[in-house]
Structure 1
Amino acid sequence: MRKKYLSLLPGLLVLLLFPMGPTAQNSKACALQCPPNSSCVNGTTCRCTPGFISVSGEIFTDPLESCYDINECGPPSPVYCGISADCQNLEGGYYCTCSPGYEPVSGATIFRNESENTCRDVDECSSGQHQCHNSTVCVNTVGSYRCHCRQGWEPKPGLWYKQMNTICKEISFPTWTAPSGIKSQALSHFLNRIQDLGRNFSSASVLNTVGDLVQETGDLLETPGDLKTLPFSEQHFVVPNLLFGLENVLRGVSKALPKGSFTFNSSAGIELSLEVQAPSYRNITLIQKQTKMMLTWDAVRDSGDSGLAVVGLLSTPGMDRFLAEAPLVLDAEELTTLHETHRGLLQETSHILLSDVISAFITNKDTENLRSPVTFVFQHSVTPGPREKVHCVYWEHGQNGSGHWDTRGCWVTSTRDNSTTCQCSHLSIFAVLMAHYSVQEEDSALTVITYMGLSLSLLCLLLAALTFLLCKAIQNTSTSLHLQLSLCLFLAHLLFLTAIDRTESKVLCAIIAGALHYLYLASFTWMLLVGLHLFLSARNLTVVNYSGINRFMKKAMFPVGYGVPAVIVAISAASRPHLYGTST
């Protein structure tokens, strides 16, 4: 017992000398052990102060760990300051400020949460906080602003890098040069008049200039002078260049027009429709007397241009006299379909222009592959006949300076008696062209013989079918085969006589063509079965074998006679449905 009490003496002495010794010492040791941005929990544990965290979390025991700042504005759970506001991280905290282009309504420059957000858009234009050049106009946007060229001005080439630093110059009249190698007094006089308009051009007189351009073009087409005496190859070179040159000038001077819709007419019937508008997402439609054009805004805008955009539609009624005789070139797919449709009958083709020649242009000069197709609706007075096909065409420049009508990138979506709707994936000079396909005409005497022969054949086939059906004394496998053959031929001839020219309805025509195909195939199949039965009967003259032949023919003749033609017609209709019910 003495030894036990003696062992407690050192502890009692410590308590007497330092009554709070162990606790104070542990607290002092904890303070020395905990890293910056943390506080002591007990002798072995530290806690990071708010806004900081360690690798182990808020509380840690490893004396080698340290507390680092929490980025409240970053993932995984960023602070949301509200719309038009940004979170700013601090050492051990954060605060919210309005985004650039916005200002607080409350007057407080910083805040802590979404409920305190009072940010609103700053109108940099009215407050003078913009950097627009004096040649531009400041347009306020949500959270920012844009610098647009003033009306009648356009960006200087090479300086349209940033909309904030745009420098503009006054719109000038585009250069229009005469086609090389063409000698025409009428064309020279016309270009001299255009140069006079260019010398007197100013943005204030842009409406008068556009009207004079349309009138001068109308006068040239109304009185072409020596243009109409030029060879066709030169006409096909000059006239499209005339339209493309006019299109380029109109595209340039129209940039000086104010926002809105404009229509210009000449005494010769030329009609120009212009639409000038700011960026939007609505479709654009230009309507004229004989033509309508519809396109989307994304196909109009020029890359990098945020100002007004121009859409133009020019109809030139007098242009057909120069371009009507130009050759037509069909794309490969359409040409293949045409030859398959008129196989063996197509002799030659001729074509006429059904519509006015039009020119469509937009601010964006890169119109080879538009983002979305442009739709045209052409009105025409001529109704296409059964051997006439309507094409949507555009003018394609040739390598020799001349050109031709082409169909690539343009297709017909619908056609009626007096209108045709086209879609094109590019812009150019357009028209609706109707091609007439000359097919070998039948001799009238041959037609009379055909109808008389088929009528007599119908009578004989009807009598034969009634005989095979009603005379029971002669009914056997052979008469059954002949009865089916007679019925198929009778129906085929009857359908041929009554419906071979019913081409006004494509659906009805396709049904008639398919039925004729099936009935004549069935007739050939039954002829094959009749021949096969005759061959087997002649080879096997014994009664036993003859009975076997009859049983085989009775089981196989109907599936073969009517099933095989059905399979052939089904495969044909599935692979080439467009060849059933053609205009011929």
Structure 2
Amino acid sequence: MRGLPLLPGLCFLLSLSGVMAQQTKGTCTHCPQNAFCVNATHCTCNHGYNSESGKKYFRFRFERCEDIDECKPPISIYCGVNAECQNIKGGFYCHCIAGYKLLSGKPQFKDSNENTCKKITPKTTNGTKEMQQFIETIESFLTNKTVLKDTRNITTVTDFLQDVESKVLNAALKAPDQETQKVQKSTVAVETRVVTDNCSKGVFLNAQMNSMEIHCKDVIQGDIQGSSAVAFVSYSSLGNIINATSFEEMTEKVYLNSQVVSAAIGPKKNTSLSQPVILSFQHMKVNPRNKIFCVYWKSTNEGERWSKDGCALIQVNKTHTICSSTHLSSFAVLMAFQDQEEDPALTVITYVGLSFSLLCLFLAALTFLLCKAIQNTSTSLHLQLSLCLFLAHLLFLTAIDRTENKVLCAIIAGALHYLYLASFTWMLLEGLHLFLTARNLTVVNYSSINKFMKWLMFPVGYGVPAVIVAISAASRPHLYGTPDRCWLHLDQKFIWAFLGPVCAIFCVNFVFFLMVFWILKRKLSSLNSEVSTIRNIKMLTVKATAQFFILGCTWCLGILQVGPAARVMAYLFTIINSLQGFFIFLVYCLLSQQVQKWFGEIIKSKSESEIYTLSSRFGPDSKPSEVK
């Protein structure tokens, strides 16, 4: 048969594939983790691992290869004197115990034959003594009142700070065997850390209840040969020399609410950090509720002052402020003076006025829903505006000061941000609807306007604010909520995530109203439209314009609460803001002839019902019941 000569060739190919499988440790894919295939038929664990069943070769695909701990019995690797074994996945290594190091300087070795562990004996203590002597000198300098009075007139504070940093780092590098040095005095404290090898974690230092954390890679600086050091210095009395009067933003009155600290690395200064350094400051005045600034000491040709450049506020609690910085320098925390205490009259006006506004908004929403005579696209816009304002005012009254839980406070701030933006967006839609109605007055094409607005209003009215809040929350979530209010933080101009869209809506609506006035003046006089239609459009324009200025004016007054007129603007802002609900109910319900007629019919029907009930009980044909 012709097929028989093919058998030798087939056998040869099968044997060749077996050889290739042995050379490539198999080609099967069912072996577990930390194992490889043998002869395409069996699996075996990698070196340093044993199978859970104890078999060297196995075919069970759910077998597990477990790490062999060479440092424990029965193997118990011996590393020699003053050394110990350290197990790792798939192997082990030896290292010297604490207080000993290899003569080669390497951190680890393989077996006892390479053991050269010797006790660490500091070659010199000059660095430690130099550090202590220098800190004592700084201590005597800062406690000398006569010297301090003289130093207030000098302009070389930066030189003093840099000189302290340089000498502290030099003292630390002179004693590399002393990995950590810490010196504490009454007016100054310092902690240094020497780094001699590669590392991948943060270096944490603290002094006088202040602390810093810097990434280790920023300390070693890659191209530096030998040891590197990081120093953290805290001054408890240096604020008497460089106080808050040197703040570059003198528009705000501030005071120093922390000790001055310095952070530096050496032997070479590192101006660019891979990760921001984190600084924690203890407050000098506990439980602050004022505006806080994270600052550093900046030296320029114009002079020396505190600056916020590159510094950011991360978190504040009653006792500490946490900041971050993209560079190393001397840092502090400044706090704004509270211009005025909370006015109890404003608080009363706010709660009473907003409560009355909530009642009016609730009545207005019921009217828009139940009065069929006024139900149209314009009424739908009024209804959504009333609902958004109702929810915003209700949340403001009940939760604006719930700052105990930071996550909950941020959620409340985000909800207020969304609801107030939604209110202004519905105002924008009202302006658009008014403009389209006036523009199409010539053809009386209200049906197309209604279809367009019904398709547009809900995605825009609720979708646009959601997009703005989502982008704001994703970019700066930590700026939702302040220490005393659940609202947007003023840092990094984050408040413009609200004021920006509001100003844009204000401007667009203003253009709409100007165009409507122009249409009414130029074109309505030449139309053959019904007089009642023109009168209705004029009335709608007057109402919408009044609403625009009432609602928009509130936030304009809020922005103007600065300077000597701040108190007056605060009262106007509070009063007008608390009257928004009453204004909507008055203009769109109480002054509407259709609503008045509807109210009259309700009252009339109720009166007739009562008269009928009374007449049925005591009418002329009724007979008194007989007493048995």
Q: 1:211: Cα distance to partner?
A: 1.4
Deviating more after overlay: 295-304 vs 204-213: 295-304
Whether 2:466 is the aligned partner of 1:566: answer no
Pairwise CA distance, 1:509 = 0.8
| 1:114-263 alignment, distance < 5 Å | 139=104, 205-228=126-149, 231=152, 234-235=153-154, 237-257=155-175, 259-263=177-181
Distance 2:134 2:162 in 1: 13
Given candidates 448, 463, 466, the residue that maps to 2:363 is 463
Between the aligned partners of 1:555 and 1:303, the Cα distance in structure 2 is 67
What is the CA deviation profile of residues 221-246 of structure 1, one whole-angstrom value per residue up to 9, with x for unaligned ones? 12331423555xx35x3443223222
The separation in 1 between residues aligned to 2:391 and 2:452, in whole angstroms, is 22
- Cα distance in 2 for partners of 1:352, 1:368 equals 28
C-alpha distance 204-467 of structure 1, shift in aligned 2 (>3 A): closer
The AA in structure 1 aligned to 2:137 is E
Deviation readout 1:438-470 (Å, 9 max, x if unpaired): 789998767655655544444344334434444
Matched, 1:434 2:330: no
TM-score of the two chains, using structure 1 as the length reference: 0.51
Alignment of 1:377 with 2:273, yes or no, is: no
Alignment correspondent of 2:296: 394
Structure 1: which 5+ residue stretches go unaligned? 1-136, 144-149, 154-202, 331-346
Match of 2:309 among 372, 393, 408: 408
Distance 2:389 2:417 in 1: 15
Distance 1:475 1:325 in 2: 61
Tell me, yes or no, if the aligned pair for 2:182 and 2:190 is still in contact at 8 Å. yes
2: CA distance between counterparts of 1:371 and 1:463? Answer: 59
Say what the alpha-carbon RMSD is for the aligned residues. Answer: 4.5
Q: 1:562 to 1:151 in 2, by over 3 A?
A: same
Alignment of 1:351 onto 2:254: yes
Once residues 524 and 305 of structure 1 are traced to their aligned partners in structure 2, the CA distance between those partners, rounded to angstroms, is: 61
Contact 1:300 1:364 in 2 (8 A): no
Query: How has the CA–CA distance of structure 1 residues 311 and 388 changed in structure 2, closer, same or farther, with 3 Å as cutoff?
Result: same
Shift of 1:297: 4.1
The corresponding residue for 2:237 is 318
Whichever residue aligns with residue 411 of structure 2, its letter is V
Kept in 1: contact 2:195–2:219 (CA 8 A): no
Seen in structure 2, the aligned counterparts of structure 1 residues 537 and 230 have a Cα distance that, compared at 3 Å, is same
Greater C-alpha radius of gyration: 1
Deviation by residue 1:337-394 (Cα, 9 ceiling, x = unmatched): xxxxxxxxxx931333333222223332232224554433333355675651342x32
- Assess if the C-alpha contact under 8 Å between 1:293 and 1:376 holds in 2: yes
Amino acid at match of 2:414: A
| Matching residue's letter, 1:463 | L
SS of residue matched to 2:422: helix
Q: 1:517 aligns with which of 421, 425, 428?
A: 421
Contact 1:290 1:380 (8 Å CA) reproduced:
no
Corresponding residue number in structure 2 for 1:72 = none
CA separation in 2, counterparts of 1:246 and 1:502?
A: 45
Deviation (angstroms), 1:264:
4.3
In structure 1, distance between residues paired with 2:323 and 2:253 = 21
SS of residue matched to 1:358: strand
CA deviations 1:166-219 (Å, max 9, x no partner) are: xxxxxxxxxxxxxxxxxxxxxxxxxxxxxxxxxxxxx65543332122122122
Determine whether 1:363 maps to 2:363.
no
Q: Is the 8 A contact 1:395 1:430 kept in 2?
A: yes
Aligned equivalents of 2:236 and 2:360: distance in 1?
A: 60
Name the CA distance, whole Å, in 2 between partners of 1:254 and 1:482.
71
- After superposition, the C-alpha distances for 1:41-77 in whole angstroms (9 at most, x for unaligned) are xxxxxxxxxxxxxxxxxxxxxxxxxxxxxxxxxxxxx
Residues 248 and 456 of structure 1, relative CA distance in 2, 3 Å threshold: closer
| Greater fraction of residues in strand | 1
Deviation sequence 1:520-562 (CA, Å, 0-9, x none): 43245347647866x699878xxxx6xx73x556544444443
**Structure 2 vs 1, CA of residues 510 and 438 (structure 1 numbering), >3 Å: closer, same or farther?**
farther
CA shift for structure 1 position 271: 1.6
Paired with 2:412 and 2:374, the residues of 1 have a C-alpha distance of: 40
Equivalent residue pairs, number = 364
Q: Deviations over 1:399-429 (max 9, x none)?
A: 25x4122333444444444334444443322
| Counterpart AA for 2:425 | L
CA shift, 1:220, in A, is: 1.9
- What residue identity is the alignment partner of 1:582? L
Supply the AA of the counterpart residue of 1:301.
I
1:59-138 aligned at under 5 Å gives the runs: none
Q: Say whether the 8 Å CA contact 1:152–1:255 is kept in structure 2.
A: no
The whole-number CA distance in structure 2 between the counterparts of 1:480 and 1:404 is 56
CA distance in 2, matches of 1:230, 1:249: 20
The separation in 2 between residues aligned to 1:360 and 1:479, in whole angstroms, is: 63
3-state DSSP of counterpart to 2:135: helix
Q: Which residue of 2 aligns with 1:299?
A: 218
Letter in 2 for 1:244: Q
Distance 1:472 1:405, change over 3 A: closer
Give the conservation status (yes or no) of the 8 Å contact 1:491–1:519. Answer: no
For 1:276-295, list aligned pairs within 5 A: 276-281=194-199, 283=201, 284-295=203-214
Q: Which among 507, 512, 515 is matched to residue 411 of structure 2?
A: 507
2:556 maps to what in 1?
Answer: none
Question: Per the alignment, do residues 386 and 559 of structure 1 end up closer, same or farther by CA in structure 2, a change over 3 Å counting?
Answer: farther
CA distance in 1, matches of 2:104, 2:214: 26
Which is helix-richer, 1 or 2?
2
The code of the aligned residue for 1:358 comes to V
Counterpart residue type for residue 208 of structure 1: K
Aligned partners of 1:456, 1:310: CA distance in 2, in Å? 65
For residue 520 of structure 2, what is the aligned residue in structure 1?
none
The 3-state SS of whatever aligns with 1:564 is: helix
Cα deviations across residues 230-284 of structure 1 (Å, max 9, x unaligned)?
55xx35x344322322222223333332512454445424222233353342543
Residue 251 of structure 1 aligns with an amino acid whose one-letter code is: L
Structure 1 residue 295, shift from structure 2 partner: 3.3
Q: In structure 2, what is the Cα distance between the partners aligned to 1:501 and 1:279?
A: 50
Secondary structure, aligned partner of 2:167? helix
2:241 is paired with a residue whose SS is helix
Change (3 A) 1:481 1:250: closer
Equivalent residue number for residue 320 of structure 2: 419
SS in 2 for 1:349: coil
> CA separation in 2, counterparts of 1:409 and 1:483?
47
Structure 2 gaps, min length 5 = 1-101, 110-119, 481-486, 491-628
TM-score computed with the length of structure 2 as normaliser: 0.48
Secondary structure of 1:397 counterpart: strand
CA distance in 2, matches of 1:450, 1:286: 47
CA change 1:522–1:305 in 2 (3 A) is: closer
Distance 1:282 1:560 in 2: 54
